DNA sequence: CTTAAAAGTTAAGCAATCTTAACAATAAAG
DNA sequence: CTTTATTGTTAAGATTGCTTAACTTTTAAG
């Protein structure tokens, strides 16, 4: 049976697997989902029983086709809702994630496709994440890198902001950074202690936390994000 | 704690109490919510423990102020969603109820107020049910009666359609009856066997089931529905 | 290699929401 | 009034999704 909990688990498992290519650990999920490690083991057994994931005791979790499909459907709903809430209902950049986190589980495919159509079949959500189409296919996305891997002195465009923390997004809004902002990296501090970036004529010192949430692409001809 | 189940229970308890003014029975709720009578007794104890309802063993359920407030909030969300889905996203008259039945539980007050504003603070949902405002106050509604209490030969306006059954709404759509339609009652069959009504130049024979879902007001000067 | 720390699992138990079956109270009929 | 039908409650048990505590496996150091 499909439940809100399972959808949330699968979404995170899938995303993490895409990111790392490796089996997902109990500790990672416990941390992300804010539950005990025992709860993860428990759910892993149940998801595996439904063939949504492959679970090997002590060796982590991988998604199976059925789980992948479900995860992508939920991700699609999440991202379309975020854009809809921002563009149509004028909610704040920092608010839409939490709202979408709930709506994604109570929206029929039919409604979602209406919203997709209403928005003109968008390819990216307000945080720069790609929106899979109704067949589960993600749009081609130009390569991106973390701000932490950038070269000092160079100019970049912000192409993605990790939406995991409301505070981070709020802070960025406050200092005037948004998707598409062109920034110049002045300094990357070692040991993940943050960075100095220039946005227009304003120089900002940002924490390691904030820096890690920012993803960029070289600021040049390329229009694709 | 506030859960989807509890919200659904309270919504039905409240609506039924408004309708009858009497304590709500276990049997009624079991039927409406499609669960066993034992489940109702069980939930009644828990809702009573939270002071959302007053529950007297063997003598039914009444709402308490806290439960009433919660119920009205959910009803507001339900009805605003229905209108939004119909008007903004062009879903069908018969589809919006089921969709709203889920969305009503995962929508923040903030989002709901945005939608309310977007719609221009509407007073009635697509089935003619009044939408409480953000303070929980229902709009004044002109008196309505069931089609079954109508007088043969008279002309009426459809002011409300019970949204409980998708099939009923689908049928009405098919024969061209919607909110605001002006009809003439030709015959009311006894024993709840239905009625004969004329909509424009078309004469329709409708079942008792359908007739019971239709609510009317005299078709005259009055514009209020 | 050995061992201590970290990661992961198991066991026991709880809360929420259901189910079925047996039993009790109330209401309806005669 | 009694009897019976209807309505409602209890008891016992299942499932989902969690918790804490104890135990096991794996990993990282030395
Ligand atoms: Mn998000
Ligand atoms: Mn979610
Ligand atoms: Mn409805
Ligand atoms: Mn509902």
- Same domain for B159 and B92: no
**How much distance in Å is there from the Cα of B189 to the middle of ligand 2?**
51
Q: Distance in angstroms, CA of A84 to C1' of D21?
A: 46
The model scores a pTM over 0.75: yes
Q: What pLDDT is attached to residue B165?
A: 86
Q: What pLDDT is attached to residue B192?
A: 78
Minimum CA–CA partner of A109 in chain B: B99
Chain B CB contacts of A120 below 8 Å: none
Do the domain assignments include residue B68?
Answer: no
CA angle (A73 as vertex; A71, A77 as ends), nearest 5: 115
Q: Which of A15, A40, A63 is the last residue of a domain?
A: A63
- Same domain for A197 and A153: yes
Chain B CB contacts of A110 below 8 Å: 91, 95
- Same domain for B115 and B147: no
- Same domain for B163 and B113: no
- Same domain for A169 and A121: no
What single string gives the DSSP state of each residue in B9-66? HHHHHHHHHHHH-SPBPHHHHHHHHTS-HHHHHHHHHHHHHTTSEEE-TTS-EEE-HH
**How much distance in Å is there from the Cα of B47 to the middle of ligand 2?**
26
| Domain at B107, CATH number | 1.10.10.10
Query: In this complex, is the C-beta atom of B115 within 8 Å of any C-beta atom belonging to chain A?
Result: yes
Determine contact, residues A208/A216, Cβ cutoff 8 Å.
Answer: no
Please give the average pLDDT of every successive group of 10 residues along chain B, which has 225 residues.
97 97 98 98 98 98 98 98 98 96 98 98 97 98 90 93 91 93 91 88 92 90 47
Q: What pLDDT is attached to residue A108?
A: 98
**What integer is the mean pLDDT of A12-33?**
98
Chain A CB contacts of B118 below 8 Å: 88-89
Mean pLDDT (chain A, rounded):
94
A35: containing domain: 4-63
- Same domain for B202 and B151: yes
- Same domain for B214 and B147: yes
Chain A CB contacts of B105 below 8 Å: 106
Do residue B91 and residue A106 have CB atoms under 8 angstroms apart?
A: no
User: What are the pLDDT digits (tens) for A108-147?
Assistant: 999 999 999 999 999 999 999 999 999 999 999 988 999 9
Percent of chain A exceeding pLDDT 70 equals: 98
Do residue B118 and residue A91 have CB atoms under 8 angstroms apart?
A: no
Do residue A102 and residue B99 have CB atoms under 8 angstroms apart?
A: no
Do the domain assignments include residue A13?
Answer: yes
- Same domain for A150 and A129: no
Do the domain assignments include residue A223?
Answer: no
Do residue A89 and residue B111 have CB atoms under 8 angstroms apart?
A: yes
Determine contact, residues A148/A211, Cβ cutoff 8 Å.
Answer: yes
Cβ burial of A184 (10 Å; 0-12, 13-18, 19+) is middle
Q: What pLDDT is attached to residue A121?
A: 98
Do residue A85 and residue B111 have CB atoms under 8 angstroms apart?
A: yes
| Domain at B169, CATH number | 2.30.30.90
Which of A139, A122, A126, A133 minimizes the C-alpha distance to A100? A126
Q: Which of B90, B121, B139 is the last residue of a domain?
A: B139
**How much distance in Å is there from the Cα of A74 to the middle of ligand 1?**
11
Q: Is the CB of A173 under 7 A from strand D?
A: no
Q: Is the CB of B10 under 7 A from strand C?
A: no
Nucleotide nearest to B41 (CA to C1'): D9
Do the domain assignments include residue B70?
Answer: no
**What integer is the mean pLDDT of A193-216?**
93
Chain A CB contacts of B106 below 8 Å: 102-103, 105-106
Q: Is the CB of A46 under 7 A from strand D?
A: yes
Q: What pLDDT is attached to residue B225?
A: 46
Nucleotide nearest to B8 (CA to C1'): C17
**Which of chain B's residues 48-107 bind strand C, using a 7 Å CB cutoff?**
58
Do the domain assignments include residue A100?
Answer: yes
- Same domain for A48 and A88: no
**Element spanning A75, H or E:** helix A65-87
**How much distance in Å is there from the Cα of A166 to the middle of ligand 4?**
28
Q: Is the CB of B207 under 7 A from strand D?
A: no
Do the domain assignments include residue B224?
Answer: no
CA A105 vs. chain centroid, Å, equals: 17
- Same domain for A127 and A89: yes
Give Cβ neighbours of residue B25 (< 8 Å, ≥ 6 apart).
B60, B61
Q: How many domains does chain A have?
A: 3
Q: Which nucleotides of chain D does any protein CB come within 7 A of?
A: 7-12, 16-22, 25-26
Do the domain assignments include residue A163?
Answer: yes
Helix (H, G, I), strand (E, B) or coil at A67: helix
Query: In this complex, is the C-beta atom of A111 within 8 Å of any C-beta atom belonging to chain B?
Result: yes
- Same domain for B171 and B158: yes
Q: Give how far B103 is from chain A: nearest CA, Å.
A: 6
Do residue B95 and residue A107 have CB atoms under 8 angstroms apart?
A: no
Name the band, by pLDDT with cuts 50, 70 and 90, for residue A225.
very low
b/e A105-141 (16+ beta carbons within 10 angstroms → b)? bbbeeebbebbbebeeebbbbbbbbbbbeeeeeeeeb
Range with the lowest mean pLDDT among A170-174, A187-191, A209-213, B37-41?
Answer: A187-191
Do the domain assignments include residue A224?
Answer: no
- Same domain for A156 and A133: no
- Return d(Cα A186, Cα A195) in angstroms, integer: 8
Q: Is the pLDDT of residue A52 over 90?
A: yes
Among the bound ligands, the one closest to the CA of B12: 4
Nucleotide nearest to A28 (CA to C1'): C7
């Amino acid at each position: 049976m499909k439940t809100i909990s399972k959808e949330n688990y699968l979404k995170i498992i899938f995303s993490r697997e895409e990111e790392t290519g490796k089996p997902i650990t109990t500790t990672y999920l416990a941390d992300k989902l804010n539950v005990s490690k025992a709860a993860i083991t428990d759910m892993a057994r149940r998801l595996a029983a439904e063939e949504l994931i492959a679970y090997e005791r002590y060796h982590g979790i991988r998604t199976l086709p059925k789980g992948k499909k479900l995860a992508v459907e939920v991700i699609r709903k999440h991202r379309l809702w975020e854009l809809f809430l921002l563009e149509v209902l004028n909610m704040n950049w920092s608010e839409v994630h939490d709202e979408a986190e709930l709506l994604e589980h109570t929206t029929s495919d039919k409604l979602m496709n209406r919203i997709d159509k209403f928005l003109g079949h968008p390819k990216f959500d307000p945080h720069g994440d790609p929106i899979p189409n109704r067949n589960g296919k993600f749009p081609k996305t130009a390569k991106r890198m973390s701000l932490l891997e950038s070269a000092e002195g160079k100019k970049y465009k912000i192409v993605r902001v990790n939406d995991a923390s409301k505070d981070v997004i709020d802070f960025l809004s406050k200092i005037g950074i948004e998707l598409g902002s062109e920034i110049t990296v002045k300094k990357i501090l070692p040991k993940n202690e943050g960075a100095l970036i220039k946005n227009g004529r304003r120089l900002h010192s940002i924490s390691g936390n904030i820096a890690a949430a920012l993803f960029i692409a070289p600021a040049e001809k390329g229009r694709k994000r």
